[in-house]
Amino acid sequence: MRPKPGQPGHRWRSAIYKTAVLGPVMLRRTNLDGDRQGDPRVHGGPDQAALMYSDNYAKWRAEGFDFEPGSFGENLTVTGLDETTVWVGDIYEIGAAVVQVTKARGPCYKLQYRTGVPDLIKRVLANGRSGWYVRVLREGLVEAGQEIVLLKRLAAGEPLADPVPEGDPVLT
């Protein structure tokens, strides 16, 4: 349990605090070995087994934020994919595992608690850098640096987010 920002004496439970892991980790139907979801009523389960987040950290730094990989609670920080190139239903192979994109992540208050940025939800919704959930079609070992291969894209689909101009979006 962690102290709630701005609410002395109140605490909150979360598994949003992630750190890099060295070596292979088994990706299972409901999560990665050694990981957990802080609130299984709204996180985790077969359709949200892992959260993938594009390596958007340079963009955040350019906007004045000092976030580092894991700041968004992602299980996998990835390069070469982002919300404008990933579609719901896409099937990817990562190491020995095969995953399918189920939905864009809906940012919640825990992102704001984790980062200390009170309007982060609004910013994520404006810039589309939310991350995405996957279900595991084939369990397997995954490891940092492995290639992520698109195996199948559904014929009718669209990207998780529309491209947003670089820089801090106008927030109203």
Give the CA angle between residues 82, 75, 83 to the nearest 5°: 15
Q: Would you state the pLDDT for residue 157?
A: 73
Tens of pLDDT, residue by residue over 44-102, are 789 999 999 999 999 999 999 999 898 898 999 999 999 999 999 999 999 999 999 99
Contact between residue 153 and residue 100 where contact means Cβ atoms under 8 Å apart? no
Band of pLDDT at residue 5, cut at 50, 70 and 90: low
Q: Would you state the pLDDT for residue 136?
A: 98
Residue type at 170 in one-letter notation: V
Band of pLDDT at residue 14, cut at 50, 70 and 90: low
| Four-residue CA torsion sign, 40, 151, 160, 118 | positive
- 157 to 12, 48, 85, 152: CA distances (angstroms): 37, 19, 11, 12
Which DSSP string corresponds to 23-71?
A: S-EEE-SSSBTT---S-TTTS-SGGGSEEEEE--HHHHHHTT----TTT
pTM: 0.86
Class in CATH terms, 2-152: mainly beta
Tens of pLDDT, residue by residue over 153-165, are 987 778 888 765 5
Residue type at 138 in one-letter notation: R
User: Is residue 146 pLDDT above 90, yes or no?
Assistant: yes
Tens of pLDDT, residue by residue over 98-132, are 999 999 998 888 888 888 899 999 999 999 999 99
Closest to 37 in 3D by CA, of 54, 67, 16: 16
Give the integer Cα–Cα distance in Å for 47 and 64: 33
Q: Would you state the pLDDT for residue 109?
A: 82
Q: Would you state the pLDDT for residue 172?
A: 39
Band of pLDDT at residue 13, cut at 50, 70 and 90: low
Q: Would you state the pLDDT for residue 2?
A: 58
Tens of pLDDT, residue by residue over 23-52, are 999 999 999 998 877 666 667 789 999 999
